[in-house]
Structure formats: structure tokens, C-alpha cells
Amino acid sequence: MSEAEARQIERMKALLEAQKTAFRGERHRPVDKRKADLDRIAQMCRKNADAIADAISRDFGNRARQESIIAEIAFVIQDVAHTRKHLAKWMKTRRVGVPMTLQPGRAEIRREPKGVVGIIAPWNYPFQLAIAPLVAALAAGCRAMIKPSEYTPATAELMKSLLADAFEDDHVTVITGGPAVGEAFTKLKWDHLFYTGSTQIGRLVALAAADNLVPVTLELGGKSPAIVTPGYPQDAAAKSIAWGKFFNAGQTCVAPDYVMAPRGTERDLGEAIIHVAAAQFPDASSDDAYTAIVSDRHYERLTGLLDEARQGGAEILQPEHDAQAAQAARKIPPTVVLNPPAGARIMQEEIFGPLLPVIGYSELDAATGYVGERDHPLALYVYSTDRTKAERVLDETMSGGAGVNTNILHLSVPDLPFGGIGASGQGAYHGEAGFLTFTHERSVFSTGKWHPSRLLAPPYGTMFKTVAKRQMK
């Protein structure tokens, strides 16, 4: 660990204590202040949209400006608007019923902020996946520290500056640094720790948090399938799948990771997907609307997956492109991999890039069985003109979220909880689910000065036997 990293870790610990002290001084931040906090986030986004998009593009080498606007900045602004609209309702104390045996009494659930939370953000949507959890935390009345990815330093430094202008350090702050700082961040005694990233690192985060019994939300990933059922229009499937897969060059946790098509249709569907991609990106190597791979390391990992699949006998489909220019720009054109070997890494690891395996299945049971035998994915997509078949696929599989005749858009519906299950994550956010993630639902039961329960105290006699007999019926 370097001297600079050691200093950053000490600063981080001091900031955590400052935030905890500030939280103790205002445990119940009123709704008007919470709304003002949210307004600062939305204003920050609107005033600095160009700077945010530019920073993200610098980090990627090239990030399609349109993708940054819609998926990062506008997403957060809409999230703020939805949260602000419903916040007062979400904050309300809720009365619940009291059984006759405990009357008279009042039972209620108070929604209280958990305290100081840590947010670890990934590189693929470096602004949205840091700020959207922050929106939920501020709505809940919490204070927060954000640790962005070291792969997106320009975005991290900009967020650090913008949030420092909008909030005091004892309310919201950003901690930058590499793996050593990130590891130390996970070991702090947070009131809640929110992590978005890979399943592999998610396990380590959960283990580190467990030492302090820190509750965690893990937004992970996995191999999200798209199942095309017999009879579904091929062009419609190709347009939808190509858009979802090649948005951000496939560097999206809920992008279709592989496609299952009725056996014998794989080539036609694969060619249709490439045809759509070629129309969307006439030359991926030079088109600014097509995003680069974020780093040399990830580029080499993806080309390694592709080379292994090709050597294993898979057929590779790509639109025409300038291969040398694409490599120089750290871009991989939209790619379909037809029927790769089942044991190939491209079918075992989450791809997180613009490589799309298309494999055939014999019967729908075989497709759902294939999905069910593996770790539950973060998302699952089914394309069918027959609602019964679509429901059958949903009934026979498990996933964090799902789409019918569409993909990736479910995460944009504010009232749908977004999260995984099993290896794809635990916990959820967006909308009220995000508010509740950072909220403690405190149970309170109140009675008068005297309550009939006093009659049930030892020494146990006739009254206890009568009441117990009634409750056992």
C-alpha cells in the first residue's frame, strides 16, 4: 500500500466518524430537507450534463454521448422526480392491526433512516450507478460516502467535485483510490453497504461486511438469457435484442448475455441481429455512437473469449468493419457467436461486452431447463406471441427481473424493484424499494399505563390457563 493510499484510508475513516456524528445530531431529517437534497442532485445533473458526458467518454476512450445522456444523466433526473413525488407517502408511519388478545394497544411501523451508508459503484455506468443509490439513501434520510471505480477516474473526480459543491463532507462525500482503498472501504462499520459489480468481488464484499455485521445490498450480474419461442417474428426479435445487447457495447449488467432460439433458426436469427447492428453502426470502428471497451484489460479478456470460441468450432458473424481501426480505438464490433461449445468460457462467464452467443434448443422445456440448471440470472427475456408460452417460461425459471418481448427496459420502470437473486445479487432498489433499502422499519407497540398482559405474569394461574387455551385454538 502506498503512502497516498494510507492517507486516503485514514481520511476515509475520519469522514465516516464525522458523518456518524452529524447523523446523531439529525436522526430524523424532515421531508422538506430531504426534498431539497434531491433537488440539489437534479440541479447538479442538469447544469453539468455536458461535463458528465465528456468525463465518461474520456474514461471509456469513447462513450456514445446519447447513451450517457439517456442512461446516466436523464435516468437520475427522472429517478429524483419520481422519488420526490412519492417521498412524503413513503416516509409515513404505518398503523397495523392489534389482535384481540393484546388489546387495548396501538401498533405501528416507523420508517427511520439507517444512518451512514457506503456506496461502491462500478465502471460501466459510473455516474448513474453511483448517484441512483445516493438518491435512495438521501430520500431515506441517510448520509453517504461513495467509492467509484478506479477504471473511471475522470468521472470519479468530477463526481467528487460536483458533490463537494452541493453537500458538506459530513453529509455526502466521494472517496477515490484503487483496490487497497476499496478493500478498506468494505471493512468499515457502515449502517448499510451497497455494492454494484461482479459476483466474484461481491462475495468478498459480503465477507468483509460480515465481520461488522453490516447489512449489504449486492447488485451483481450473471448470464442473462433471451429465449425466442417458435413463431415469434425474427426481425422483431433481432431489433430488440440487438439494441439491448449492443447498447454501451454490451457493457450492461442486464444486457442479453446469450440467445436461445428454436433449433435450425440460429443462423437466420444471428444474421438478422448483425443486419440490424450494421444499420445502427455503419462502421463500429469510427462511429462515435458506438462505445469503446473501457480498458485494455477488458478488451483482451473479450478477444480471448472470442478466440477460444472460434477455435472450438463456433461460427463468428460480424458486420463489415476496419479491423485495425477498431483495435486502435479499443472497439469490438457487434458480434454473434453461433453455437459455441458448451464448455467454452463465453458460455460459462458473464460476457459484459458486444459478443452474443446464439444457441439452438429442441423443445421449450429444454430451454427453460438449461436456464434453471444454472445460477439465477439478473435478468431473463422471453420473446413470444403466445402469452401462455411466455408465462410458462417465467413460471419455469427464476431471475432477478424479466422482460416479455423487450429487454433491459424493466430497470427503467421506477416502481419495479431492481435486483438479483442468488448469485446475481441480494436486495433491490429503485423507487420505494430503494427507499426501503436504506430505511429501518421500526416496530412500535404502545399501551396505556396498565395492560391486561399483566394478568399473565407469574405465578401462572387460572387466568394464564384460560388465555393460553383460547390462543391455542
Give the span between the Cα atoms of 292 and 244, in whole angstroms. 16
> For residue 361, what pLDDT is reported?
97
- Alpha-carbon span 73 to 303, nearest angstrom: 30
Q: For residue 200, what are the CA distances in angstroms to 78, 423, 425, 452?
A: 31, 9, 11, 54
pLDDT value of residue 100 = 84
The second-level CATH assignment, the architecture, of 3-220+424-441 is: 3-Layer(aba) Sandwich (3.40)
- pLDDT tens for 269-314 read 999 999 999 999 998 888 899 999 999 999 999 999 999 999 999 9
Residue 107 C-alpha cell reads as 401498533
Q: Is the pLDDT of residue 341 over 80?
A: yes
pLDDT at 379: 98
Q: Which of the following is catalytic: 253, 266, 350, 432?
A: 253
Mean residue pLDDT across the chain? 96
- Where are any strands of DSSP class E within 153-234? 172-174, 192-196, 216-219, 225-228
Average pLDDT, stretch 39-55?
Answer: 98
* Top-tier CATH class for 225-415: alpha beta
**Residue 56's CB: how many other CB atoms inside 10 A?**
27
Q: What span, in angstroms and rounded, lies between the C-alpha atoms of 293 and 49?
A: 22
Asked whether the predicted pLDDT for residue 5 surpasses 90, the reply is no
- Cα–Cα dist 235/286, whole Å: 26
Mean pLDDT over 86-113 rounds to 95
Other beta carbons within 10 Å of 26: 13
Task: Dump pLDDT digits (tens) for 12-45.
Answer: 999 999 999 999 999 999 999 999 999 999 999 9
- Determine what percent of the chain is predicted with pLDDT higher than 70: 100
pLDDT interval class at 457 (50, 70, 90): confident
Amino acid at 190: W
Closest CA to 240 of 268, 272, 287: 272
**What is the C-alpha separation between 389 and 383, in angstroms, rounded?**
9
DSSP conformational letter for 233: -
Model pLDDT, residue 347:
97
Length of the chain: 473
Going by DSSP bridges, is the β-strand pair 335-338/116-120 parallel, antiparallel, or unpaired? unpaired
Categorize the per-residue pLDDT at 470 as very low, low, confident or very high, splitting at 50, 70 and 90. Answer: confident
Provide CB contacts within 8 A for 416, sequence distance 6+: 401, 410, 430, 431
For residues 456 and 29, which has the higher predicted lDDT (pLDDT)?
29
Confidence of residue 357 (pLDDT cuts 50, 70, 90): very high
pLDDT tens across 192-224, in order?
A: 999 999 999 999 999 999 999 999 999 999 999
Q: Is 227 helix (H, G, I), strand (E, B) or coil?
A: strand
Q: Which residues partner with 143 through β-bridges?
A: 116
**Residue 379 zone, left/alpha/beta (φ > 0; ψ -120 to 50; rest):** beta
Query: Which one is catalytic: 67, 72, 219, 350?
Result: 219
Task: Give residue 473's pLDDT band: very low, low, confident or very high (50, 70, 90).
Answer: confident
Per cent of the chain over pLDDT 90 is 90
Model confidence band, residue 453 (pLDDT cutoffs 50, 70, 90): confident
Convert the pLDDT of each residue in 307-334 to its tens digit.
Answer: 999 999 999 999 999 889 999 999 999 9
Answer yes or no: are the C-beta atoms of 367 and 383 closer than 8 Å. Answer: no
Backbone angles phi, psi at 407, to 5 degrees: -145, 155
Residues 151-166, mean pLDDT to the nearest whole number: 98
Cis preceding-peptide flag for 104 (omega within 30 of 0): yes
Give the model's confidence band at 102: pLDDT under 50 very low, under 70 low, under 90 confident, else very high: confident
The torsion angles phi and psi of 108, rounded to 5 degrees, stand at: -150, 160
What confidence category does residue 227 fall into, taking pLDDT thresholds of 50, 70 and 90? very high
For residue 452, name the pLDDT band (cuts at 50, 70, 90): confident
Active site residue 142: no
Identify how many contiguous H helices and E strands the chain contains and give both numbers: 17, 16
User: Which three cell numbers mark 100?
Assistant: 384481540
Cell 467535485 belongs to: 161
Output the pLDDT for position 413: 97
Residue 257 near residue 377 (C-beta atoms within 8 A): yes
- Mention every residue, 6+ apart, whose C-beta is less than 8 A from residue 16: 116, 145, 188, 189, 190
Whether pLDDT at 455 is above 80: no
The residue ranges of every structural domain in the chain are 3-220+424-441, 225-415
